[in-house]
Amino acid sequence: MSRAWMGLAVLSVLALMSCSATGPDSRDVPSLDATLSGQEARVLFGAAQAPDNGPSAVIGGYARGCLAGAEPLPETGPTWAAMRLSRNRNWGHPELIDFVQDLSQRVAAQTSWNGLYVGDLAQPRGGPMLSGHVSHQSGLDADLWMLPPTRFDLSAPDRENLSSISTQSAGGARVGENWTPTHMEVMRLAATDPRVARIFVFTGAKVWMCDNATGDRDWLRKIRPAAGHHYHFHVRLNCPAGSRDCEPQDDIPPGDGCDEARARARAILNPPPPDPDYVPPPPRPPMTLADLPRQCAALLGDL
């Protein structure tokens, strides 16, 4: 689906709106036209090539929200490089942009890595993406590569073609040959930042950290097992101070989560037999604009 087509789609559906909101922070956004409200949100937000001009605000939740006043992570810094720029997903709330830069500097100063290669953050106005993520909608999520950086003066083709490395084995139950103690140290530095709510990584990494972390282990509570996170780890920030329309992450369950992670690893290695009576649920319908917080419609008004 071309960007030009998506732009035309946004223009056509927005033309159906009979009134506009006073801004993305308004709590009195008028009712949406039925045709607009039923449009796939990923098409509408995927067409936005630039942020809106309003103040920065996180609206809604990580998997059902949008982002006003987004800022870009610069393509290159002294300790980071933004990857896959063709996706236009190097945007975030200013607090996320500051966090990524701060963490990359701490990683360069305190570990053997030179910094970080940074994957997807959010789209220019947040919201659902055309592919690849359920979350990353409110500008508070970041994917950070497992590949230790070698240099940051990357060309555009480098950023598109360089690949990260998988750090798992045994289907995610164990770490693989590319995993190093430095991976744990990088995640520990991230988890000890008070802005961080969660870090998602494959099950075997959590188990390895539980078995090998020494000293203060309180940061392990923030490390949560999640399938698929072995080429990168996913950092999620708390709602920034004063973000009245941000839906916070649920509280972390009690304990360090190590017993649960070990149980998940055992289930991966020895899965139970399939249930012959299991009936899969019907596919989830696409998220529409009406499924998002009402303020999100106002972010599309100038497209």
Q: What band does 197 get if pLDDT is binned at 50, 70 and 90?
A: very high
pLDDT, tens digit, 9 for 90 and up, residues 199-224: 999 999 999 999 999 999 999 999 99
- Looking at residue 25, its pLDDT comes to 43
pLDDT for 113 beyond 90:
yes
Q: Is the pLDDT of residue 147 over 60?
A: yes
Report pLDDT for 48: 94
- Give dist(CA 43, CA 101) in Å, integer: 30
The CATH number of domain 3-270+286-300, selected from 3.90.1150.10, 3.40.50.1820, 1.20.810.10, 3.30.1380.10 = 3.30.1380.10
**pLDDT, position 37:** 67
What the block records as the tokens of 298 is 């106002």
107 vs 125: CA distance, rounded Å: 29
- The confidence score (pLDDT) of residue 262 equals 98
pLDDT at 198 over 90: yes
Q: Which residue has the higher pLDDT, 22 or 195?
A: 195
Chain-centre distance for alpha carbon 92: 10
Counted residue by residue, the chain has a size of: 303
Instruction: Spell out the residues 6+ positions from residue 287 whose beta carbon is closer than 8 angstroms to its own.
Output: 40, 41, 42, 64, 128
Residue 76: pLDDT band with limits 50, 70, 90:
very high
Strands (E), 85-213: 91-92, 116-118, 141-145, 168-169, 174-175, 196-201
9 has pLDDT over 90: no
Question: What average pLDDT is seen over the chain?
Answer: 89
Q: How many CB atoms lie within 10 A of CB 55?
A: 10
Q: Which residue has the tokens 């599309």?
A: 300
Q: What's at 252, amino acid-wise?
A: I
Q: Within a 13 Å sphere around the CA of 140, how many CA atoms are in the beta-carbon half? A: 28
Domain spans of the chain, in order of start: 3-270+286-300
Backbone phi and psi for residue 185, each to the nearest 5 degrees, phi listed first: -65, -40
Q: Does residue 67 have a pLDDT over 60?
A: yes
pLDDT above 70: residue 278: yes
pLDDT score at 303: 61
Give the chain's end-to-end CA distance (angstroms, integer). Answer: 18
**Is residue 78 very low, low, confident or very high in pLDDT (cuts 50, 70, 90)?**
very high
CB neighbours (10 Å) of residue 19? 9
Angle at 13 between CA 138 and CA 4, to 5 degrees: 80
Q: What is the mean pLDDT of residues 115-140?
A: 94
CA-closest candidate to residue 133, choices 117, 148, 119, 116: 119
What are 26-55's pLDDT values in tens digits?
434 444 555 566 789 999 999 999 999 999
Mean pLDDT computed over 128-156: 94
